[in-house]
Amino acid sequence: MVEETNTYSIACYRVKMKTILYLAVVFTLALSANAGGADKDLDWWEKTIFYQIYPRSFKDSNGDGIGDLNGITSSLEYLKEMGVGATWLSPIFKSPMYDFGYDISDFYEIQEEYGTMEDFEKLMAKAKKLDIKIVLDFVPNHTSNESVWFQEALRGHEKYYNYFIWEDGVVDSNGKMHPPNNWVSVFRKSAWEYREEVGKYYLHQFVIGQPDLNFRNPDVVEEMKNVIRFWLDKGVAGFRVDAIAHLFEVDKKDFGGKYPDEPLTGYTNDPDNYDYTDHIYTKDLDETFDMVYQWREVFDEFKEKDGLSRVMMTEAYSSPQLTMRYFGEGDRQGAQMPFNFVLISDVSGSSTAAEIKYALDKFITFKPIDKLSNWVAGNHDNNRVASRFSPELVDGINMILLLMPGIAVTYMGEEIGMVDGYVSWEDTVDPSGCNTDDPINYWVSSRDPERTPFQWNSKKNAGFSTADKTWLPVADGYEYLNVEAQRNAKRSHLNVYKDLSKLRTKKAFRQGRYESVAFNEGVFAFRRWHDKDNYIVIINFRNENYTIDLHYFENVKNKVEVVLSSIQSPKSAKDVLEPSKLRILGSEALVLKVN
């Protein structure tokens, strides 16, 4: 009996182990296959490159030192030249410009510095002719304190008063008024500002000039849906949603009628620092995700009319688990592209190949199996790729951006390897830098360096403007680091980018499978394949040479052929290499085809 029981137990164990192994294999294959998506008809947003334009810095058409809509319109052919199919414009709406467009005073009007509604319509018409989709920046969390809504609130208009979040101050034993609680602005100091007109404080999670909207008010919800409908009616193909994680604060009714203090993090002793508190009452609340799903329903209203999908991108520097919720829950659809910031937040030029692999694989691992990844290497809020990694790694990062499975998002200038520009304390205008009140270390917080004017050529102001003074100074070195110089060079970052753009249209990259490996401290590689097409992408994140064996990857039996190489690489297209002892030079990046 004991023997029979043992035999039965062993048999069960073997069956269970076979089942577990079988499920593991199926799961792995499913993940691998889905990483590039099964063979299917892809929607426009699933196969294009999104190119972010910061309008103030892209192209000035009237010589006032500020980029504008007509400048963008005149430069759309450049996007087409790169293989870009959609451009996301940072805010172009009417604004006093305390935060350069992210403090919107009228969501239905164009900022005068950028042009007129007629100029916008000309931009839309030319973009349509060139088959370039236009995506706008939607800033729902807050408005401007110069908006009609806020001004009416100060005058006692009940409807608009309820558009915002107000709270009584706290009076100490000496009769001095203090903010309602310890909530801190993203841009430092208290998130509350007192207004004598109403005798209360209003909440601003960002600058003082950006009062938060009250999304617990149904009127606000409907107003912002109407903003979306207004611009979708004008033909825009979607929105990037700014600062979405901050949309809701806790309901003070759940805390005795007072907004509670947030717990301290222990990271800093500076109460003006945003990291002083843990933002459990002001960020990533459940209601935020529901609002995203409601907006998606508005987007889909328009798709039902004309068949064109409107895309939603969400900006949230949150955990993977929270980020994935933006995709949707159950039958409810959310954003098609919850931005994946791992190339910004998780790694840098000092990261090892293993850390790079871990970061890149993370989003693919957490995302729903039927959704696409997306890749964002830079934007207007973070140091440029060439400054954060190194100028030598620009091509390698662009290979990751454009050849990994999913959707690519490029910040203007990363295709030519622009670097952060020097902006003196006197020229600094970004509130993140100005609010430090520190003329020595302001540059650590300032976002101005990554926003300097686009570098078109070696002429005055890098061809950005004919003005004697531009809104931010042009970065040093533009005389040789510019579009015109790189167009005419035999090997340049721009030409590598254009070749990558063409390469990513192949099925191996658009629909193929994916696997990756860290060969050693410096060399990260990934393979993309579809049917018999088999490619290996290699990036060396260290400035030292390595020899690697590509037989780690399956089906590498013969020689490999160079398809693309970084500009400093001595290897050229069509060079045939031995995979078993492949010499990779410091900071070199390669795209190889397996024969």
Q: Which of the four pLDDT bands, split at 50, 70 and 90, describes residue 411?
A: very high
- Binned at pLDDT 50, 70 and 90, residue 541 comes out as very high
pLDDT at 219 over 80: yes
Over residues 8-37, the pLDDT tens digits come to 333 443 434 444 433 343 344 344 444 444
pLDDT of 483? 98
* The pLDDT value given to residue 30: 40
Give backbone dihedrals phi and psi of 385, rounded to 5 degrees, phi first. -55, -45
Q: Would you call 109 helix, strand, or coil by DSSP?
A: strand
CA 341, distance to chain mean position in Å, is 6
Q: Are strands 337-338 and 311-314 parallel, antiparallel or unpaired?
A: parallel
Q: What is the mean pLDDT of residues 567-595?
A: 97
Please give the pLDDT value at position 75.
Answer: 98
Residue carrying the six token digits 């499975």? 405
- Note the pLDDT of residue 403: 98
Per-residue confidence band for 412, with pLDDT thresholds at 50, 70 and 90? very high
Write out pLDDT tens, residues 116-136: 999 999 999 999 999 999 999
Dihedral pair phi/psi, residue 452, rounded to 5°: -60, 155
Q: What's the pTM value of the predicted model, to 2 decimals?
A: 0.92
Read off the pLDDT band of 40 (50, 70, 90). Answer: confident
Mean pLDDT, residues 550-568 taken together: 95
> 492 by DSSP, 3-state: which?
coil
Give the pLDDT score at 398: 98
| Per-residue confidence band for 422, with pLDDT thresholds at 50, 70 and 90 | very high
**Class of residue 484 by CB neighbours under 10 A (exposed 0-12, middle 13-18, buried 19+):** middle
Distance CA 158, CA 496 (A): 57
Mean of the pLDDT values across residues 310-337?
97
Concatenating the DSSP letter of every residue in 344-404 gives: HHT--TT--HHHHHHHHHHHHHHS-TTS--EEE---TTS--HHHHT-GGGHHHHHHHHHHS
Residue ranges per domain, the chain? 1-36, 44-141+220-246+286-500, 142-212+250-284
Pick the CATH number of 44-141+220-246+286-500 from 3.30.930.10, 3.40.50.11440, 3.20.20.80, 3.40.50.720: 3.20.20.80
pLDDT for the residue numbered 64: 98
**Interatomic CA distance for residues 501 and 118, integer angstroms:** 32
Residue-wise pLDDT for 252-265, tens only, equals 999 999 999 999 99
Identify the active-site residue in 99, 119, 167, 315. 315
Q: Using alpha carbons only, what angle is made at residue 285 by residues 280 and 286, rounded to the nearest 5 degrees?
A: 145
CATH tag for 142-212+250-284 (out of 3.20.20.70, 3.40.50.720, 3.90.400.10, 3.40.50.300): 3.90.400.10
Reply yes or no on whether the pLDDT at 1 is more than 90.
Answer: no
CB–CB of 499/399 below 8 Å?
Answer: no
The yes-or-no answer on residue 315 being catalytic is yes
Of 103, 137, 212, 242, which is the active-site residue?
Answer: 242
As beta bridge partners, residue 170 has 178
| Strand ranges across the sheet with 589-594 | 513-518, 523-530, 533-540, 589-594, 560-565, 576-577
CA nearest 140: which of 318, 315, 303?
315
Q: Confidence class of residue 39 from pLDDT cuts 50, 70 and 90?
A: confident
- Per cent of the chain over pLDDT 90 is 92
- Quote the percentage of the chain above a pLDDT of 70: 94
Nearest alpha-carbon partner for 510 in 27, 179, 46, 91: 46
pLDDT of 3 > 90? The answer is no
CA dihedral 403, 405, 410, 413 (to 10 degrees): -20
pLDDT value for 8? 33
Taking residues 264-271, report their average pLDDT. 96
Question: What is the band of 188 on the pLDDT scale with cuts at 50, 70, 90?
Answer: very high
DSSP string, 442-482: HHHH--GGGGSPP---SSGGGGS--SSS-SSPPPTTTTTSS
